[in-house]
Amino acid sequence: MEIVKGKKIEQHLCDLHAAEEGMAVKAAHTPINELLTNFVKLHSGGTQTSTSELTCEECGLSFSKFRESSLMGCPSCYKSFEGPLSPLLERAHEGGSHHVGKVPRRAGAGEQRQAQLTRMRKKLNEAVTAEDYELAARLRDDIRRYEEQAE
């Protein structure tokens, strides 16, 4: 530990991603959690019910669960939580609210395509859970064919 004039000279400016740098971190997602909690308090007049009950239809993640972990459950969560999330994103990204960078080549009809893949994989998941392996095999082939058709 480095101490200069009786003070630790290092401090975390962003705990969030220290983990990915290969360094030990105490609590990986504190800042955005604080942001979230403060935000929700601010905008709900002390009751957190309305926002907390939001749930992603696709993966079932609730907004309150997201608040605990700071992690989204699936791509659809961004749509499901768009309302309460938007102001937070702007604060976390210096006011940035819309993507302006690289666009993937397959993005042409991308969002429809992604929704279709999500639906197909959901069916596959249900088939496996129901132990209907014949249907599962068929769905798997369908998905593979669909994936291979580039836009």
Partner 1 sequence: MSIRQLTDHAGEWLRGAGPHSDIVISSRIRYARNLAGYPFVNRANRRQRFEVLDRCKQEIVSKRLADNVLWVDLPDSPSMDRQLLVERHLISRQHATAGDDIPRAVALDAAETFAIMVNEEDHLRVQVLRSGMQLAEAYDQIDRIDDVLEEKLDFAYSRRFGYLTACPTNLGTGIRVSVMLHLPALKLTGEIEKVRRASRDMHLAVRGLFGEGSEALGDLYQISNQTTLGKAEQEILADFEHTVVPQIIAYEQQARQALLKQRQAQLDDKVWRAWALLTNARVMGTDEVLQLLSHLRLGVNLGRIEKVDIRAINELFLLTQPAHLQKLSQQEMDAAERRIARAKLIRQRLEQATR
Q: Which residues bind partner 1 (CB under 8 A)?
A: 1-2, 4, 9-14, 16-26, 28-29, 32, 58-59, 61, 69-75, 78-79, 85, 88-89, 92-107, 110-111, 113-114, 117-118, 120-121, 125, 128, 147-148, 150
Q: Give min distance, CB of 98 to partner 1, in A.
A: 6
Bridge partners, residue 62, by sequence: 55
Measured CA to CA, the distance from residue 70 to residue 29 in angstroms comes to: 6
Measured CA to CA, the distance from residue 21 to residue 92 in angstroms comes to: 20
Q: Give min distance, CB of 109 to partner 1, in A.
A: 11
Q: Please give the structure tokens belonging to residue 68.
A: 């605990």
Q: Give min distance, CB of 108 to partner 1, in A.
A: 11
Pick the closest to residue 86 from 74, 97, 75, 101 (CA basis).
97
Q: Give min distance, CB of 69 to partner 1, in A.
A: 7
Nearest CB to partner 1, comparing residues 47 and 133: 133
Q: Give min distance, CB of 94 to partner 1, in A.
A: 5
Nearest CB to partner 1, comparing residues 45 and 104: 104
Nearest CB to partner 1, comparing residues 100 and 134: 100
44 C-beta neighbours (distance < 10 Å), count: 14
Could you tell me how far CA 81 lies from the centroid of its own chain?
Answer: 10
Could you tell me how far CA 95 lies from the centroid of its own chain?
Answer: 19
Burial of 15 (0-12, 13-18, 19+ CB in 10 A): middle
Nearest CB to partner 1, comparing residues 46 and 102: 102
Nearest CB to partner 1, comparing residues 10 and 49: 10
